[in-house]
């Protein structure tokens, strides 16, 4: 680790100093090293709490940095400072970039062309389907998908990217060594293996509610733009949308049914001027030309869904099912006029062909391919 990176780590551990204040102090002193070398007399010239001055002058920050560095090495966690070459250049451009990032996985992905895809934790069938469709297609042209590993849309965005053979970055509101939510254990490991997990929070940090709005600026800051696929009126995704605009990044939204609570966020953003997304071309045409040239070189084709010939019974069931709503087995049995055993066989075949999805409670919906 570079000395400057270690000094940034030490500074980030000083209690009572936020990111903006730290960055301004470093600029005033010229470098992290100079800030840590300040004598008590010179520190007196800064408007800092006495505890903060003592933490610097008595070497507490450096000792704390040594301890955290040792813990990170034991867990295979890499620490990047804002002065490292691998630190994401787009993130450096925001108003208050994190001084250090804790990372697990492929660090090179942090500098890849990327799009943030975020949305509600409680999402509809339509939200699930459209999120996975869009992230598969964006990944297939070489874009890295960035999201927050939360329940709902965020998790589906990561899954869509991984299933297409693409890349993804998860930005956490807790330590990178803390898996939250717990049901995402397998997804967390998949992202660590095939992508990258990052956080500005110290290892072991609990996922406190106030951390998530803070991490949202990193999600949007890593990317050329943010896409909202589904979000309720008070969704935290709207915070990410606002931050993207403040960072002068693109903002896209997928329209939805005006009677759906989850469509309020995207529809509201579109009304306010966000770019409407009907297919990925709406995203690609807003990217800089040099990025499109780079994507052409990096793109890997997404594995296509196999669409095999369907029997008449299978065609009937596919037409009866919709991608944005689900239908219970009993209702499907009634309106399809198929026998019980026949319908079970048809549903099994359609699932194997990747054309429909079974949801909890024997509900079924058509996949958006």
State the Cα–Cα distance between residues 61 and 22, nearest whole angstrom. Answer: 13
Cα Rg of the chain (Å, integer)? 24
Domain 107-298 CATH assignment equals 3.40.50.450: yes
pLDDT of residue 295: 82
- Provide the percentage of residues in the chain whose pLDDT is more than 70: 96
CATH assignment, 312-366: 1.10.10.10
CA trace torsion 130, 136, 138, 140 (10° rounding): -160
- Are the C-beta atoms of residues 265 and 230 closer than 8 Å to each other? yes
pLDDT of residue 302: 47
Per-residue model confidence as pLDDT tens digits over 235-286:
899 999 999 999 999 999 999 999 899 999 999 999 999 999 999 999 999 9
- Are the C-beta atoms of residues 135 and 143 closer than 8 Å to each other? no
Per-residue model confidence as pLDDT tens digits over 68-99:
999 999 999 999 999 999 999 999 999 999 99
- At residue 104, does pLDDT exceed 80? yes
Question: pTM higher than 0.95, yes or no?
Answer: no
How long is the chain?
A: 369
Tokens of residue 21, six digits: 């204040």
Closest Cα partner for 84 from 73, 97, 71? Answer: 97
> Taking every pair of C-alpha atoms in the chain, what is the biggest distance, in angstroms?
87
pLDDT of residue 308: 57
Domain boundaries, the chain: 1-74, 107-298, 312-366
Per-residue model confidence as pLDDT tens digits over 322-359:
877 789 999 999 999 999 999 999 998 888 888 888 88
Per-residue model confidence as pLDDT tens digits over 30-41:
899 999 988 888
pLDDT band, very low/low/confident/very high, at 304 (cuts 50, 70, 90): very low
The mean of the pLDDT values for the chain is 91
- At residue 305, does pLDDT exceed 50? no
CA distances (Å), origin 192, targets 76, 195, 270, 273, 311 = 11, 5, 34, 36, 42
């Amino acid at each position: 680790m570079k000395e400057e990176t270690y000094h940034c780590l030490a500074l980030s551990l000083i209690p009572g100093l936020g990111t903006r204040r730290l960055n301004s102090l470093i600029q005033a002193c010229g470098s992290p090293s100079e800030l840590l070398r300040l004598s008590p007399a010179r520190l007196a010239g800064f408007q800092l709490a006495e505890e903060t001055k003592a933490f610097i002058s008595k070497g507490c920050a450096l000792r704390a940095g040594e301890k955290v560095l040792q813990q990170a090495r034991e867990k295979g966690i890499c620490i990047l400072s804002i002065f490292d070459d691998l630190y994401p250049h787009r993130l450096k451009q925001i108003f208050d970039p994190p001084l250090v990032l804790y990372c697990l996985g492929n660090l090179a992905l942090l500098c890849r062309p990327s799009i943030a895809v975020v949305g509600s934790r409680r999402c509809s069938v339509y939200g699930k389907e459209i999120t996975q469709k869009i992230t598969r297609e964006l990944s297939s042209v070489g874009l890295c998908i960035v999201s927050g590993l939360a329940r709902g849309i965020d998790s589906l965005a990561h899954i869509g990217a991984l299933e297409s053979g693409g890349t993804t970055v998860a930005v956490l509101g807790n330590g990178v060594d803390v898996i939250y939510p717990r049901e995402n254990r397998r997804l967390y490991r998949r992202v660590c293996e095939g992508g990258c997990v990052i956080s500005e929070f110290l290892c072991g940090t609990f996922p406190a509610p106030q951390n998530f709005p803070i991490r949202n600026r990193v999600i949007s800051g890593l990317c050329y733009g943010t896409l909202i696929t589904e979000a309720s009126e008070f969704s935290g995704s709207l915070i990410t949308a606002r931050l993207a605009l403040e960072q002068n990044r693109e903002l896209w939204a997928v329209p939805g049914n005006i009677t759906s609570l989850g469509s309020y966020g995207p529809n509201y953003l579109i009304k306010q001027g966000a770019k409407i997304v009907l297919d990925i071309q709406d995203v690609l045409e807003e990217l800089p030309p040099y990025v499109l040239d780079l994507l052409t070189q990096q793109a890997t084709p997404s594995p296509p869904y196999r669409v095999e010939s369907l029997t008449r019974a299978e065609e009937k069931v596919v037409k009866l099912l919709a991608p944005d709503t689900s239908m219970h087995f009993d209702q499907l049995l009634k309106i399809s006029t198929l026998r019980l055993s026949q319908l079970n066989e048809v549903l099994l075949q359609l699932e194997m062909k990747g054309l429909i999805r079974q949801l909890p409670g024997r509900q079924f919906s058509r996949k958006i391919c």
